[in-house]
Chains A and B, each alone.
Chain A
Amino acid sequence: MNPDVVAAIARLSREGTLSSEQAALFSRVARRELVSVRVEIRALLYLGVLLLTSGVGIFVAEHHADIGRWAIAASIAVASSACLAWVIRSAPPFSWGEVESPSVAFDYVLLLGLLLFASDLAYVEAQFTLLGPRWVHHLLVVASVYVVASYRWDSRVVLSLGLSTLAAWRGVSVSVMAHSLGAGGAGALRVNAVMLGLLYVIAAVLSVRLDRKAHFEEIFGNAGLLLLFGGLVSGVMLSDLGWGTWLVALLVLAAAVMWISFRVGRPAYFAQAVLAAYVGLVRLVMVPFSGQSTGLPLLLAALLGVGALVLVFVAYKRMPGR
C-alpha cells in the first residue's frame, strides 16, 4: 500500500477533483488490491527462452553424433517454425507506425522462434559448410532476418538483437558473455565499430524523417552512439599512435551530438556524448604528465568534471522535453 497516495485519493475524491469511479479504481491499485504481474510474466518468459536456447545448444553439441545431422537440423527447424507460425497467426496487421503487441508473450515467442532459427542456421552451416570459407557471413544472414522480423512484428527487443548480431558479424560484440572488441586487429575493429555506429545513427535519423517505425529511433540511436563513442574512445585511450586524431574526431562528434540532442530533447544521447568527451579530455590532460608522480593531472580532471557538471545543469535547464 502507498499510504500517501491512498490519503491523497481520499482527499481528491472529497474535494471533487476525482470522480467516485476514478477514486475507487486508483485506490484499489494504491492499496495493492489490484496488482500488475506483467513484469513477472516477462521475466519468466525471458528466463524460459534463455534456458531453452541454452538447452538446445548443449543437447546438439553433446548428441549430434548419436542422433544424426539431418534429424537435429529438422527438429530445431520444426520447433522454430512452430513458434513463428504462432507469431504469424496472432500478429496484428503490419503498419509503419507503432503496433501494440497482442499479448505479453508475443515478443518472447517471436524471440524464441528466431533464436532457434539462428541456432539451426549455425548448426547447418557448421555441418554442411554451405558458405564455405565465408562462413562468418551466416551472422549477416541471421542479423538481416532479425531486422526484417523486428520491422514486420514491431519488436524493439528483436531489433536490438539484430543490431548487436550485425555488430558481432563485424567483430564487435556487446554480449556480456563474450569478448567486446574481440581478438581481431584492434584498429580494424575500431573502424568497424565507427562505421557501423554511423550506419545506425543514419538509420535513426531516417526512421524519424521518413516516419517509418519512428519509435525505433531510440534503439538505432543509442546502439549507434554506443558503437561510435566506444570506437572513438578506444582509439583515444588504447591507440599509442595517432590518438590525437581520434581525440579530435571524438570531440567534434561529441559536440555535434550534444548540440543535436540538446535541440531535439534526447538526454540519453547527450549523456553519452558528455561521458565520452570527458574520458577523451582526461587522456589529454594526463599525457603531458606521463611518467611524473604529480597530482596536477588529477586536479585538472576534477576541474573538467566540475565543468561537465555545469554543462549538465545548464543543458537540463534549457533542453526541450527533457
Chain B
Amino acid sequence: MRRQSIAWERAAEVRDAADGWRRAGAIGAPTHEAIKNAYPDPCVTPSAVWRVLTAVMVTAVVLCSFGAFALAIRPREVGLSLLLWLFGGACVVATERLEGSLRLARRGAAGAAAFWGIVLFLGGLGQLLHEIRAISGEDALRLFLLTSALTWAAACWRWGSPLFAGLSVASVFVLLAQVPFGRTLWIVVGAVLVGVAARHLDDGALAPSHRRAAMVVLLVAVAAMYVALNSYSLDQDLLHELRPLAPQRVVPSTVLFAGAAVATALLPLGVLAWGWRSRRPVLLDAGIVLVALSLVTLRYYVHVAPLWAVLLVSGAALVALALAVERALRRVPGGEQAGFTTDALFSDDRGQRVLQVVAVAGTLTPAAAAAASAEKGFVPGGGASGGAGASDRF
C-alpha cells in the first residue's frame, strides 16, 4: 500500500473510534472535534450504501464495456485472452489512479475495479492455458491456481482488501487439493498460516486493512483445517471434489476415521477456547459455527434422537445458554465478567440491526399464499422454518 494511504487509514481508525465514543456520549462535541483535528483524514469516506452502489455501477460499466468490445471484435482463442488482459490491465491502471485520489480512494470504485481487474486477468490466463495443447489439464489448473493465489495476494498487499487475502488463501488450498496428500497439506499449511496470521493480528507495523486481511487468512485457514479434519469430509472425501482429474479415492481406515472424529470434536472447542482466552469475538463466532457443524456431523452418524427432538433440544439449549450468559453478565457489578459485557460499548449498532431484520424476514417469513396449492395443509414450523403458513404440505 502507498505510505500515504496507510497514514490516512490509521487516522480513519482513530476517527471511527472517536465517533463511537461520541455516539455513546463518552466524550463531548469539543473533544470529538479536537480528536478530528489531531487526526485529519483528507479522504472522502461514504457510508456502506454509497460504496456498494458505486461498486455495483462500476461492475456494470466494466462488464458491459468488455461485452461490447468482445461482441464487436469477436476475438478467437488467444485474441480473447489478450482482450481480457487488456481490460484487466485497464482496471488495474484505473485502480491505481483511484487509490491515489483523496476524493475517490474509499468510494467503492477502486475496490470494484481492482476485483474485476484481477478476475479478467485470471480469465485471460485460464483461456490461454486452455488453448495451449502442450500443457496438460492438471498442470494448467495448477498453474492457474498458483497464479491466482499470487495475484490476489499481491492485490491485497498493494490495495489492502481483506477479501483479496481470502481469495488468495482459498486458491492456495484448492491448489494443495490437486497434489498427493492434499488433506495432510491442508492441515499442515493451515496450521502454519494460522500461526503466521495470528502473530500479525495486532501488529502495529501493518496497515489496518492488512491486519484485517490477517484475520481473514486466519479464518480461512481454520476453516480449511476443519474441512480436512472433519470425519464427514474424510468419509465422503470432499477434497476429492476439488480434484476432478485425480484417480479414484481410497476408503479411509477405521483408525484414520476415529482420529478424524476426535479432531472434529476437539478443533471447534480449541477455537472456542482460543477466542475466549484472547477475547476475540470473531474467533468466538468461528468456534460457535464449528461447534454447530460438528454437532450436525455427530447427528449424521449417531441418531441419538429424531430430528424434531434434536432441533427442539438444541434450540432450547441455545436460547437458554444465551439467556444465562446475558443474565450472568448483567447481574455482576459493572456488567462485566472476565472482560466480557453485553453493553454495545462504542460500536455502531445500526449495521447489526439491518442484518437482524434481513435475517429474520429472510428466513422466518412464510411461503407466499399464492404459491401454495388451493388444497390446504400445515407446513412444519408455519413457513419454511417458522412464521406461519398453511399449504398443501402435510
Residues of A within 8 A of B (CB): 1-5, 7-8, 11-12, 15, 17-18, 22, 25-26, 29-30, 32-64, 103-105, 107-108, 111-112, 115, 118-119, 121-123, 125-127, 129, 135-136, 138-139, 142, 156-157, 160-161, 163-165, 167-184, 188-189, 219, 267-268, 270-271, 274-275, 278, 293-299, 301-302, 305-306, 308-309, 312-313, 316, 322
Q: Contact between B13 and A5 (Cβ–Cβ < 8 Å)?
A: yes
- Beta-carbon contact of B364 and A7 below 8 Å: no
Closest CB-CB distance, B207 to chain A, in whole Å?
9
In the bound assembly, the distance between CA atoms of A275 and B55 in angstroms comes to 12
Q: How far is the CA of A74 from the CA of B341 in the complex (A)?
A: 38
- For the complex, count residues of B whose C-beta is within 8 A of A: 112
Q: How far is the CB of A83 from chain B (nearest CB, A)?
A: 10
Contact A34 B342 (CB under 8 A): no
Tell whether, in the assembled complex, residue A45 and residue B319 are in contact, meaning their CB atoms are under 8 Å apart: yes
Instruction: Please give, as numbers and ranges, the residues of chain A lying within 8 Å of B300 by CB-CB distance.
Output: none
Q: Which residues of A contact B47 (CB under 8 A)?
A: 267, 322
Q: Is the interface of A mostly helix, strand, loop or mixed?
A: helix
Q: Does B363 contact A (CB under 8 A)?
A: yes
**Considering the complex of A and B, which 9 residue pairs feature the smallest CB-CB distances, nearest first?**
A182-B371, A57-B381, A171-B370, A57-B380, A184-B370, A118-B388, A55-B311, A51-B315, A3-B204
How far is B342's CA from A192's CA once the two chains are assembled, in angstroms? 42
The reply to whether A172 and B368 contact each other, CB–CB distance below 8 Å, is yes
B126 on the A face (CB < 8 A): no
Contact B65 A302 (CB under 8 A): yes
Does the CB pair B284–A58 fall under 8 Å?
Answer: no
Interface residues of B in 293-323 (CB under 8 A from A): 306-323
Selecting from B32-40, B131-139, B254-262, the interface stretch reads B32-40
| Given known contacts A17-B31, A105-B326, A322-B46, A8 and B14 CB-to-CB distance under 8 angstroms | yes
Q: Are A52 and B46 in contact (CB under 8 A)?
A: no
Q: Report if B242 contacts A (CB, 8 A).
A: no
Add 8 more A-B contacts to A135-B376, A170-B369, A175-B364 (CB < 8 A): A22-B26, A29-B345, A157-B360, A163-B361, A178-B384, A297-B68, A301-B68, A302-B65
With a CB–CB cut-off of 8 A, which chain B residues contact A295?
A: 67-72
The answer to whether A156 touches B311, judged by C-beta atoms less than 8 angstroms apart, is no
Specify which chain B residues have a CB less than 8 angstroms from the CB of A42 in the assembled complex: 352, 356
What A residues does B316 contact at CB under 8 A? Answer: 48, 52
- Are the C-beta atoms of A37 and B361 separated by less than 8 Å? no
Task: Judge whether B390 and A125 touch: CB under 8 Å.
Answer: yes
| Known A126-B394, A164-B361; contact A179-B371, beta-carbon cutoff 8 A | yes
B29 close to A (CB within 8 Å):
no
Residues B311 and A58 in contact, CB atoms below 8 Å apart: yes
Instruction: Considering the complex, give the chain A residue whose CB is closest to the CB of B329.
Output: A37
Q: With A39-B352, A316-B50 known to touch, is A56 a contact of B381 (CB < 8 Å)? A: yes
With A61-B394, A299-B64, A305-B60 as known contacts, state yes or no: A271 contacts B49, CB within 8 Å. yes
- Judged by a CB distance under 8 angstroms, whether B236 is at the interface is no
**Interface residue from B309, B322, B377 paired with A41 (Cβ < 8 Å):** B322
Contact B319 A112 (CB under 8 A): yes
Q: Which of B146-154, B183-191, B273-281 makes up part of the contact surface?
A: B273-281
B71 A293 Cβ-Cβ under 8 A: yes
Q: Residue of B at shortest CB range from A317?
A: B44
Contact check, B342 vs A35: say whether CB atoms are below 8 A apart: no
CB-CB under 8 A from B365, the residues of chain A are 161, 164-165, 167-168, 173-175, 178
Inter-subunit contact A165/B366 (CB<8 Å): yes
User: Which residues of the partner chain B approach A274 to less than 8 Å between Cβ atoms?
Assistant: 53, 57
Complex contacts, A26 vs chain B, CB 8 Å:
17, 21, 26, 346
